[in-house]
Chains A and B, each alone.
Chain A
Amino acid sequence: MNIPKDLLYTSEHEWIRVDGDQVYLGITDYAQHHLGDIVFVELPELDTEVVTGDSIAVVESVKAVSSVYSPVSGMVVENNEELDDSPELLNEDPYTNHIAVINISNPDELEDLMSPTAYEAFCAEQE
């Protein structure tokens, strides 16, 4: 299981890369592995206001439909349109292929996210 050290994580198996007041959001290696072959990603619409816990995207594998929840509040400023034609990128390299970029309104929320070490322990418990 690949868990990069420079990212933050959620219990919903999402990763977050902080870049100033923006965060990149994607799904983890654990998530893509458990979903299996991903065949569709419903991306969030641009300029949507989101609050923590909102379902902002949907990732569908052959057998499963899974929501992606925003771990932060803010505005969706980018969505990765490459996933429209190539949803399998999330299987191939889940960490270089983000789903969305969110301009965060409350940086304090980042405190609630898991460190790589904490996430690794969390995944181990799930098995």
Chain B
Amino acid sequence: MSLKQTPLYEMHQKYGGKIIDFGGWALPVQFAGIIKEHHMVRQKAGLFDVSHMGEISIKGPRALEFTRYLGTNDVKQLQDKQIIYTLMCYPDGGVVDDLLVYKFSSENIFLVVNAANLDKDFAWIKEHAFPGVEVENLSDRYAQLAVQGPEAERILQKIADTDLGSIKFFWFNPQVKIAGVECLVSRTGYTGEDGFEIYVNPDKASYIWEEILEAGGEDIAPIGLGARDTLRFEAKLPLYGQELDKDITPLEAGLGYFVKLQDDDFIGKEALVKQKQANPQRVLVEFEMVGKGIPRPHYEVEKDGVNIGWVTTGAHSPTLNRAIGLALIKREFNLPGEEIDIIIRNKTIKARIARGIFYSKNTKSK
């Protein structure tokens, strides 16, 4: 099967991207090197192609009401042009996907979902759609670029016709001209840094890509999926398939803040109410390696020789310059400061449960 290409495929080749198969998409895992790119985003700015992400529109008089029913978060509190993070759950509380909800109006909602889950999500949403609600997969109509890092606003402002300072964290403006091209621009991202995501006609994607790189000069660089993963992980942002899954609930993943159990009904609510009352049996914890080794996803976690869970994500953190991880473990073992064992290639390597060791986000919240 041939890989799908984003509208920016030629740019990846032009800038020396090392192309890999990412869930059926041909995308760059790195350009100059993952660690170098990671630091570039933390210190200056980076440009990402995230066109593989899925976009789904929900329209009709009951669009907002339906979106509330689909997910855990209270989208009804949104104002027009505001964005919220939510999770779609199965009736048992497991996660279908995590996503962003963009509210154009109560009758026009735009969802941004994970690429690997797009088909599943689209089918799920259609299956549960209220009568009169129109669900449309718009993924082919948008290219998506992300500009992230402390210099992101300064660089993008050079070629934008709108004061980007007027777009607050988790808000968007659907009519910003970037280098003369109309785009939807939101102040969102997946790196723990300030920055923007830009939705644009695929035909204009390469042009915008080049204009942004030119505007940024030495202060911006193209960034691949490798650094995207280390950046999101270091900022403790969850990844579907690792921190979240059909067998992991948002409450277990520590995302209770995004689960609003009062008032409105939504798919999975009953199970999540029960789980909250009883306290989830598993929790996501931070840990740091004490012994030598790098924790990787799915490595087992033990205490006194007994399995208590697994690593969801672990890595050498480029910013902290040490190996850290997230693990989903049995609740009773969540004792910060306590040692646990990570099973690495059949050896038990010491780690310590911690709290607050991850990178503090620099997003412009509120």
Contacts and interface: CB of A to CB of B under 8 A. Distances in A.
B23 to A, nearest CB: 15
A42 B296 CA distance: 15
Contacts of A61: 34
A36 interface: yes
Interface of B: 18, 29-30, 33-36, 226, 230, 292-294, 296, 315-316, 318, 323, 345
B293 A40 contact: yes
Contacts of A63: 29, 34, 226
A39 B316 contact: yes
Contact of A37 (B33, B292, B296, B323): B33
Contacts of A36: 18, 29-30, 33-34, 226
Main secondary structure of the interface of B (DSSP, over half): mixed
Size category, A interface: 10 to 19
Given A62-B226, A62-B230, A40 B34 contact: no
A26 B318 CA distance: 25
A60 B29 CA distance: 16
A114 interface: no
B226 A40 contact: no
B293 A37 contact: no
Interface of A: 36-37, 39-40, 42, 58, 60-63, 65, 84
A112 to B, nearest CB: 27
A contact face: mostly helix, strand, loop, or mixed: strand
A37 B36 CA distance: 9
Contacts of B36: 37
A42 B30 contact: no
Contacts of A37: 33-36
B34 A42 contact: no
Contacts of B293: 40, 42
Contacts of B316: 39-40, 60, 62
Given A62-B315, A65-B294, 8 more contacts: A36-B18, A36-B30, A37-B34, A40-B292, A62-B34, A62-B35, A62-B226, A62-B316
B104 to A, nearest CB: 38
Contacts of B18: 36
A40 B35 contact: no
A44 B34 CA distance: 27
B194 to A, nearest CB: 24
A103 B116 CA distance: 49
A125 B198 CA distance: 41
B345 A58 contact: yes
A63 B230 CA distance: 9
